Amino acid sequence: MTPEDYFGDEVESLRLFEAVAAAISEIGPATVATSKSQVAFRRRRNFAWVWIPGKYLRREAAPLVLTLGFTTRSDSPRWKEIVEPKPGRFTHHLELYDSGDIDDEVRGWLREAWEAA
């Protein structure tokens, strides 16, 4: 399955995925793995995931969510949700509505996740 298969006719979601992929490519190499539920970016291990919340929610949702994992909890109010699935691992979810949401702060988070992977 390719990212294009995953996004199908979700044009806005695909456009945002491409913006995330471009931001990551500016940091360094990463591979892309697509499943039925998400698209993952990988270095030595996965470090970023994007997915379409509308596939799972019965209400209006952002066109795309960027998920990043860190060993510490970020205090930024931009995160939609932060969970700690296991001690010392924090999963951060950021809703993306347009490519302007991928600003310097988000690029910094992507770099941090990429370097840790």
Please give the structure tokens belonging to residue 16: 């945002």
- Between CA 48 and CA 64 the distance in angstroms is 13
What is the DSSP-derived secondary structure letter of residue 116?
H
At residue 100, the pLDDT reads: 97
Angle between helices 11-27 and 104-116 (to 10 degrees): 60
**78-82-103 Cα angle (round to 5):** 30
User: What is this structure's pTM?
Assistant: 0.94
At residue 56, the pLDDT reads: 79
At residue 95, the pLDDT reads: 97
What is the DSSP-derived secondary structure letter of residue 36?
S
**58-62-64 Cα angle (round to 5):** 110
Query: Which domain does 80 fall in, by range?
Result: 3-116
**57-61-64 Cα angle (round to 5):** 105
Q: Which residues pair with 58 in a beta bridge?
A: none
Q: How many distinct structural domains can be found in the chain?
A: 1
At residue 59, the pLDDT reads: 77
CATH number of the domain within which 39 lies? 3.90.1150
At residue 85, the pLDDT reads: 93
From first to last of its 117 residues, what are the pLDDT tens digits of the chain?
999 999 999 999 999 999 999 999 999 999 999 999 999 999 999 999 999 998 877 778 899 999 999 999 999 999 999 999 999 999 999 999 999 999 999 999 999 999 999
